[in-house]
Amino acid sequence: MQEILTILEKQQVGKVSLHEPLSKHTTIKIGGPADLFIEPYSVEGLKHTLDVLHEHGVTYRVIGRGSNLLIPDEGIRGAVIKLGTNFDELHELEGNRIRVAAGYPIIKLATVLSRKGLRGLTFAGGIPGSVGGAVYMNAGAHGADISQILTKARVLTIDGQLKWLTKDEMKFSYRTSVLQTEKPGICVEAEFQLEPENKEVLMSEMKNYKDYRRETQPWRDPCAGSIFRNPLPTYAGKLVEEAGLKGYQIGGAKISELHGNFIVNTRDASYEDVLALIFHIQKTIAERYRVDLHTEVEIVGT
């Protein structure tokens, strides 16, 4: 990896390092080192990075703010590319449209738009991810999701092409987009259509959502967000609570006592602790309710 690091440094694609602990880059604070860790300065830097990795046959994984992600204690072989603070541009366009880079924090964006009197993203005021990740998984809450405001997404495909995909081409469904299935790629930018609204109304709505999350979710503890997709019309957290599993613990990983669909890292939890707890929940719910719970959190290595 030293040779590739040297090449990338000479090309000045961004910050590059070896053996970066990924626990520093996930919201659950779990994850071993990446062989090679890259934070590109720009879309061009990202393209150059992918070219070099492809040329040398190095596998890679892209992350944002590290929510909704569980990484093994052994880390990730190959490269990890983080779209962070260098991908946080926000541009206002005509007609209540905005264009925003993939690394922009979704909570910050929700707050900024509400203060400007633009409706459409208040639901995301408690989602601890980035715009790119939110688009990739069609993030949502309170009966709304990204698909309702996105007009198009700029995607870097695995063969190095930059393309704008329309909302229809993104093929959004519940916590899913085409980027996870038919057309793997990296969202580098997104365009949203908002609606004008009184900013005091929006800020009040944001406050209500945040208060609700603080009362019902473990926002003080390291966690990865919702562990399971909701098996609609019921909810994963409701099933876990009814099964009496809230507070159940394996090693340093515990099912939140506030919300059954959250696993918190109480004290140096390991990847295996969390995985064992996930399997225990799935087994219990399947036996008791004949419902199969599928993970929403992305689990690396399974």
Instruction: Give me the active site residues, please.
Output: 175, 226, 296
The two structure tokens encoding residue 155: 């995607």
Strands (DSSP E) found in the chain: 14-21, 33-40, 60-63, 69-70, 76-82, 90-92, 97-101, 118-119, 140-141, 144-145, 150-157, 162-166, 185-193, 195-196, 249-250, 253-255, 263-265, 298-299
Classified as helix, coil or strand, 15 is strand
Nearest to 128 by CA among 170, 82, 69, 88: 69
Residue 214 backbone zone (phi > 0: left; psi -120 to 50: alpha; other: beta)? alpha
Classified as helix, coil or strand, 214 is helix
Which stretches within the chain are classed as H helix? 2-11, 43-55, 106-115, 131-137, 167-170, 199-216, 236-242, 271-289
Nearest to 278 by CA among 233, 231, 226: 226
186: CB partners within 8 A, 6+ apart: 46, 62, 83, 102, 132, 155, 156, 179
CA distance 259 to 133: 23
The two structure tokens encoding residue 238: 């409701």
- First-residue to last-residue Cα distance in the chain: 24
